[in-house]
């Protein structure tokens, strides 16, 4: 009896090891929202560690950039302060020259007034007129010299003003870059704080698995499946299944198997596996447990009969040991009565 059971198991595995139908070119049906959520959670679960590591590297890079930007702000601030000090000193000098010019202009005005006054006196006093004219000439020379000084003083003033404007532009740019860098750091820190663990995401996905089955089954079409290393599975579990196969291979365990099969194939297997009645007999009544057509998760691509080395796995195989220790994190649960049968609900 045991030999017959094992032989039937091999028949089951070989019958489902390759996709029964190729995925047609028809447009993929709309995947139920719960399935989309499940797939997203599994993706986040299986990439959580890599995502966290990437975020931490990103944060380090952003913090280095922020430090550089802070240094640039510091340098620009000092340059702007120095430019303001230079402008202040040059402005004082310019104002002094300007004030002296005004004083010279007032002195010239006064000298001209004196000249007019003495020129009108009768009798005319030549000595007084001569003296007044000399005073006007001297005041004119002084005024002209101070005008030249003011013109000369305007050159460093304009340069100092331009220096302040330039320093201000540089400081503003540095401050903007610093703000941008600080915002990036804050955003990454927030993402790290909100990043869940792989276990958290996997637990949330597991809580949705029954809903996935319930909502996928009535709307399922073959277009909802895809091939992963020759195993046809529902697109909802494709990423997780591929990761499971890849990670098992990295651990020295090669796994494959049979995924999706049609209801017609399920009926055929019920007959091959000696079920008392195709439509009513419980799976356990068959020589090899085989679900009633319409109830198998294989029919919607959410279960895989695992094989390793071309043979159905048993509880004594290395593949089963690895799956028992690791499959849950990929969303796969074993059906206790069938060592080879793994699905998102264990059914």
Question: Does 163 have pLDDT greater than 50?
Answer: yes
Confidence of residue 23 (pLDDT cuts 50, 70, 90): very low
Cα Rg of the chain, angstroms: 45
pLDDT at residue number 26: 38
pLDDT at residue number 58: 98
Please identify which residue in the block is written with the tokens 């079920």: 275
* Crossing angle of the two packed helices 235-250 and 33-120, in degrees rounded to 10: 90
Q: What's the mean per-residue pLDDT of the chain? A: 91
Exposed e or buried b per residue across 298-329, where buried means at least 16 C-beta atoms within 10 angstroms of its C-beta: bbbbbbbbbbbeeebbeeebbbbebbeeebbb
How many of the other CB atoms lie within 10 Å of CB of 127?
9
Question: Does 24 have pLDDT greater than 50?
Answer: no
Contact between 283 and 325 under an 8 Å Cβ cutoff? The reply is no
pLDDT at residue number 124: 85
Mean pLDDT confidence for 161-185:
98
Mean pLDDT confidence for 64-79:
98
Question: Does 222 have pLDDT greater than 80?
Answer: yes
**DSSP helix/strand/coil, 261:** coil
Contact between 137 and 108 under an 8 Å Cβ cutoff? The reply is no
Contact between 204 and 43 under an 8 Å Cβ cutoff? The reply is no
Question: Does 18 have pLDDT greater than 60?
Answer: no
Whole-model pTM above 0.75? no
Q: Is the model more confident about 6 or about 78?
A: 78
Confidence of residue 233 (pLDDT cuts 50, 70, 90): very high
pLDDT at residue number 29: 54
pLDDT at residue number 114: 95
Query: Over the stretch 93-127, which tens digit does the pLDDT of each residue have?
Result: 999 999 999 999 999 999 999 999 999 998 989 99
pLDDT at residue number 336: 92
């Amino acid at each position: 009896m045991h030999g017959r059971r094992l032989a039937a198991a091999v028949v089951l595995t070989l019958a489902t090891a390759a996709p029964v139908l190729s995925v047609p070119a028809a447009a993929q049906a709309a995947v139920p929202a719960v399935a989309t959520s499940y797939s997203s959670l599994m993706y986040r679960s299986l990439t959580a560690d890599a995502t966290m590591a990437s975020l931490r590297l990103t944060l380090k890079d952003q913090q280095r950039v922020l430090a550089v930007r802070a240094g640039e702000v510091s340098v620009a601030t000092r340059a702007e302060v120095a430019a303001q000090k230079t402008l202040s000193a040059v402005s004082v000098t310019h104002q002094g020259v300007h004030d002296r010019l005004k004083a010279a202009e007032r002195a010239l005005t006064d000298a001209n007034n004196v000249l007019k006054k003495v020129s009108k006196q009768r009798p005319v006093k030549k000595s007084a007129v001569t003296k007044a004219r000399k005073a006007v000439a001297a005041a004119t020379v002084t005024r002209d010299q101070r005008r030249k000084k003011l013109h000369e003083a305007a050159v460093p003033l304009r340069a100092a003003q331009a220096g302040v404007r330039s320093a201000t532009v540089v400081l503003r740019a540095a401050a903007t870059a610093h703000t941008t860098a600080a915002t990036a750091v804050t955003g990454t820190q927030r993402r790290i704080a909100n990043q869940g663990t792989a276990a958290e995401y996997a637990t949330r996905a597991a809580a949705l698995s029954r809903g996935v089955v319930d909502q996928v089954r009535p709307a399922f079409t073959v277009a909802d499946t895809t091939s992963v290393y020759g195993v046809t599975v529902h697109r909802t579990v494709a990423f997780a299944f591929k990761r499971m196969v890849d990670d098992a291979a990295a651990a020295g365990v090669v796994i494959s198997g049979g995924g999706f099969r049609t209801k017609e194939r399920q009926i055929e297997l019920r007959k091959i596996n000696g079920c008392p009645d195709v439509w009513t007999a419980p799976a356990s009544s068959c020589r090899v447990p085989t679900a009633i057509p319409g109830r198998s998760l294989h029919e919607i691509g959410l279960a895989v009969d695992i094989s390793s080395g071309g043979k159905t796995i048993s509880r004594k195989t290395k593949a089963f040991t690895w799956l028992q220790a690791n499959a849950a994190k990929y969303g796969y649960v074993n059906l206790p009565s069938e060592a080879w049968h793994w699905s998102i609900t264990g059914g």
